[in-house]
Amino acid sequence: MTAEPVPSRRRANTRARLLEAAAEVFADKGLGAATVDDLAGAAGFTRGAFYSNFSTKEDLFFALFEALSARMVDSVRETVESAPDYDLGLIGAVLERLRPQARAWYIVQTEYLLLAMRNPEVGRQFAAHRNKFEGEFADVVMAALTRLGRRPTLPVEQLTEALASLYMKNLAVEALAGDAPRRDGEPGRFIADTLPAVLLGLSEPLA
């Protein structure tokens, strides 16, 4: 391992601002269309600052993905841990908590997936990431189900995958309906109905 060059406070701050701005830029323009100038400019810098911190825009993109993933997992964990009790309402609480970050996360995650489908190297990274992510998530699902007095009728990993893919789909549907009028905070019909239905339909009472 090469010794890390000790990042200064100033440098860390610049990186953070670049990362934060990148979420918006990538969400709006996409990895392909976003230019280094867009990314630096959105953070209030010039390209000089960018190249001083990242070697390519893909470099920044991957760093952003890491940061967003970490924030998503933390949000879920926090919500679940601070829940007063476990019932189907927990699903709504989690969705509500994820909502503000959902659009950017969905887009970045999806573009990463496309990249992974095109490049075996990226594909391996992506798969590793997702296994870890879904493993943690499967534990949460299993715990919640147990507290509900139920058990899955198929391997919990598959149930989790099903829930996750439904949630992903819902993110897309919600983002698409962005212009359609809807009451603030309402989690959306599809997910509110379907997620619990699937959760119950693919599980059975314990006893």
Q: Which residues are at the interface with DNA (CB under 7 A)?
A: 7-11, 13-14, 35-37, 40, 44-49, 51-53, 56-57
Residue 25 interacts with, from a second copy, DNA, none (CB under 5-8 Å by kind): none
Residue with tokens 């890390």: 4
Phi, psi of 68 (to 5 degrees): -65, -40
User: Using CA atoms, how far apart are residues 184 and 172, in angstroms rounded to an integer?
Assistant: 17
Residue (13 or 131) nearer to DNA, CB: 13
Residue (4 or 186) nearer to DNA, CB: 4
Name the burial class of residue 81, with classes exposed (0-12), middle (13-18) and buried (19+) by CB atoms within 10 angstroms of its CB: exposed
Residue 62 interacts with, from DNA, a second copy, none (CB under 5-8 Å by kind): none
Binding site residues, a second copy, CB under 8 A: 27-33, 103, 106-107, 110-111, 113-114, 116-118, 120, 123, 126-127, 153-154, 158, 161-162, 164-166, 168-169, 172, 175-179, 190, 193-194, 197-198, 201-202
